[in-house]
């Protein structure tokens, strides 16, 4: 067996375990919390009083205008200087959540804005209040519109979690770095890590396509040549 293939096979269990133990939980938790934060931020920008909307806009401006890696460094390496000490995983979780929250807020805000005004009027005509109209009429329609960009954001997050290696989270990419430090085979190990990310992204892309077809079917927008 070629040396490079044997090395890949030997390191595969370690890399997969790191992915299951850190990469997957970090991705799922960050996206779930970020999505909730994004929804609150979008609602605040669209319907909140001016001071709240201004705070939401400022938050989105800061996060979207600075690199994610810098944000992680500020949280993990910068906050200790003011007495706030965080372990690597919670620091990464906070950083990714804040980043995802800003980007998903723009997606959700655009999706809510795309719902015709007549839908609000129809909801109010059936004696719904604002929260009922939002929950039962507006958000289901906005959710269908926002599925493709939110799915793309989730897939990008899977790959972006590799940045957590820079703040010592022992996820998939840092595990590859540690093996490289003992084997001195960076090309082989980094290609293997890239292939694992590629497989995960490909599976998620396939699931995204199926989800889009499902939503399109029930929304009456499915193309005949899908």
The pLDDT of residue 215 is 72
Tokens of 93: 């979780």
* Crossing angle of the two packed helices 172-183 and 3-18, in degrees rounded to 10: 140
Mean pLDDT for the stretch of residues 17-28: 96
The pLDDT of residue 211 is 84
Q: Which percentage of the chain shows pLDDT scores above 90? A: 83
**pLDDT bucket at 6, cuts 50 / 70 / 90:** very high
d(CA 201, CA 196): 9
Tokens of 60: 């989105």
Mean pLDDT for the stretch of residues 177-203: 96
Mean pLDDT for the stretch of residues 95-101: 98
**pLDDT bucket at 220, cuts 50 / 70 / 90:** very low
- Reported pTM: 0.91
Tokens of 45: 């920008």
d(CA 214, CA 217): 5
Is 23's pLDDT higher than 90? Answer: yes
Tens digit of each residue's pLDDT (9 = 90 or more) over 148-183: 999 999 999 999 999 999 999 999 999 999 999 999
Q: Which percentage of the chain shows pLDDT scores above 70? A: 95
Tens digit of each residue's pLDDT (9 = 90 or more) over 99-139: 999 999 999 999 999 999 899 999 999 889 999 999 999 99
Mean pLDDT for the stretch of residues 21-32: 97
Tens digit of each residue's pLDDT (9 = 90 or more) over 45-93: 999 999 999 999 999 999 999 999 999 999 999 999 999 999 999 999 9
Q: Where are the alpha helices (DSSP H) in 115-185?
A: 117-125, 130-133, 139-160, 172-183
d(CA 45, CA 48): 6
The pLDDT of residue 223 is 40
Is 225's pLDDT higher than 70? Answer: no
Contact predicate 164/155, CB 8 Å: no
**pLDDT bucket at 221, cuts 50 / 70 / 90:** very low
Is 41's pLDDT higher than 50? Answer: yes
d(CA 160, CA 200): 13
How many CB atoms lie under 10 A from the CB of residue 6? 11
């Amino acid at each position: 067996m070629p040396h490079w293939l044997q090395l890949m096979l030997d390191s595969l269990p370690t890399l997969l375990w790191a992915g299951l133990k850190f990469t997957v939980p970090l991705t799922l938790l960050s996206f779930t919390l970020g999505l909730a934060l994004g929804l609150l931020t979008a609602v605040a920008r669209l319907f909140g009083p001016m001071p709240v909307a201004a705070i939401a806009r400022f938050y989105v401006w800061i996060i979207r205008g600075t690199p994610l890696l810098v944000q992680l460094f500020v949280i993990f390496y910068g906050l200790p200087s003011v007495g706030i000490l965080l372990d690597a995983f919670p620091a990464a979780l906070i950083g990714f959540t804040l980043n995802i929250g800003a980007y998903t807020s723009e997606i959700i805000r655009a999706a809510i804005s795309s719902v015709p005004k007549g839908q609000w009027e129809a909801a109010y005509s059936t004696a719904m209040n604002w929260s009922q109209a939002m929950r039962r009429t507006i958000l289901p329609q906005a959710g269908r519109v926002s599925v493709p960009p939110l799915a793309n954001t989730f897939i990008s997050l899977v790959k972006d979690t590799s940045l957590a290696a820079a703040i010592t989270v022992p996820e998939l990419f840092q595990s590859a770095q540690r093996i490289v430090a003992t084997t001195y085979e960076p090309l082989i190990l980094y290609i293997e890590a890239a292939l694992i990310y590629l497989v995960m992204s490909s599976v998620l892309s396939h699931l995204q396509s199926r989800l889009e077809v499902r939503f399109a079917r029930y929304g009456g927008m499915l193309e005949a040549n899908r």
